[in-house]
Amino acid sequence: MTKDMTQGSPMKLILGFTIPLLFGFLFQQCYSLVDTIIVGRFLGVDALAAVGSTGPLNFFIIGFCTGVCSGFSIPISHKFGAGDYVGLRKTVANTVWLSIIFSVVMTTVTVVACRMILILTKTPENIFEGAYEYFVIILLGIPVTYLYNLLSGIIRALGDSKTPVIFLTIAAVLNIFLDILFIVTFQMGIAGAAWATVLSQGIAGISCLFYMIKKFEILKIQKEEWAPDRHLMGILCNMGIPMGLQYSITAIGSVVLQTAVNTLGSGAVAAVTAASRVGMFMMCPFEAMGNTMATYGGQNVGAGRLDRLTQGVKSCLLIGFTYAAMAIGIVYFAGRYLIGMFVEASEVAIVDDAFIYLFINTIFYFGLAIVNIVRFMIQGMGFSKLAVLAGIFEMVARGIVGFALVPVFGFTAAAFGSPLAWIMADCFLIPAYIYCNKQLHKRMGKEC
């Protein structure tokens, strides 16, 4: 049930691992996609804007959870690559303890602060209560976010990228059913969309748990291996917290940008929401490539196969650039039809703004490919703190656009927030990867 990524063709391994992950991310996006379509169609533009206005905040908080879990999986991939299965089980046990602590603390703090956060981000009055109703339920679901992301991360660290996809597929279908049931039949409004998302992800997480218990013999944790280990927890936090902060720091820039868009009115918010939903689907391949490189890098570092790192980066960049070129054509010819899934065709101004936002972002997907592939490789190599700096560059870029450009140039300026962020991050990540590679070779006494 595991896959060794330290032997064989990097291109073949990366493709084989990325494709199942891609389907996983696509189905994960189905949660927000179905929410948005049903909310937009059945509850109206204001409800769509209310859900969309929480997007960057959602990324800020839920992204931290995802990043922490991804970071926790890196030491696990190192242990697996090195063949240290006792150490692997102890590491998994300590990730469980840490995840419980993190989820309880984060849920308590964010739920209490939810209303104040929406006030600080200048959420428009006409959508404020709807945004609060949706967001607070998502925050109550933080424990199930940890459950799924932690367990799927462990499974991927052992080389299995297919199984989490199966459970997410089931959850996505369930999410569609629950959305229709809660919003259309039970008339629960925006809250129904949020509860459907939380319950569906909970099902996916529980499914991963039962699968791991039944299928992975090397994860049969003994009683003594459950003992908390301060040293292991320190290693895990050293990997997990920087990766979580990377997501959150990046999201701070998105929150600043969203705050600037909020000042342009609910129509602009709805346009960005529709474009972002399409964009999130279009960007799924880059997310899949990034997570692949974290596992690939982690296993090869654990096995001492440093010669395979740059081979993997080059192979994955070739895949990423090929897709980036294809994405431009897809959005140019089909972008308006895709946006039409979320906004009625009669809302001409919103559709036009959404297309401009989406197309400008798509043109710069080559930069996004470098961001995800190189950053996740650096994390897999064990240099997660350096990857945080890339998030700072992204935050600064989005902050410049939000504070300085949107007030002057309006909506079109907002469309350049993410592209500028990717370019600035690339300027840091490329030399950072070269530095990390040299450092690893020095530690292991090998030639570059």
Q: Give me the pLDDT at residue 2, please.
A: 62
Mean pLDDT estimate for the chain? 89
Percent of the chain past pLDDT 90, that is, above it, reads 54
pLDDT digits (tens, 9 = 90+) for 305-362: 999 999 999 999 999 999 999 999 999 999 999 998 877 777 889 999 999 999 999 9
Q: Which domain holds residue 315?
A: 10-444
Number of independent structural domains in the chain:
1
Alpha-carbon dihedral angle through residues 258, 358, 293, 310, given to the nearest 10 degrees = -110
Report if residue 139 sits inside a domain: yes
> Which of 266, 1, 278, 296 shows the shortest CA–CA distance to 160?
1
Report if residue 326 sits inside a domain: yes
Report if residue 274 sits inside a domain: yes
pLDDT digits (tens, 9 = 90+) for 83-128: 899 999 999 999 999 999 999 999 999 999 999 999 988 888 889 9
| pLDDT at residue 448 tops 50 | no
Report if residue 164 sits inside a domain: yes
Report if residue 352 sits inside a domain: yes
pLDDT digits (tens, 9 = 90+) for 260-298: 998 888 889 889 988 988 998 899 999 999 989 988 999
Report if residue 3 sits inside a domain: no
Report if residue 1 sits inside a domain: no
Report if residue 285 sits inside a domain: yes
Q: First CA to last CA across the chain, in angstroms?
A: 33
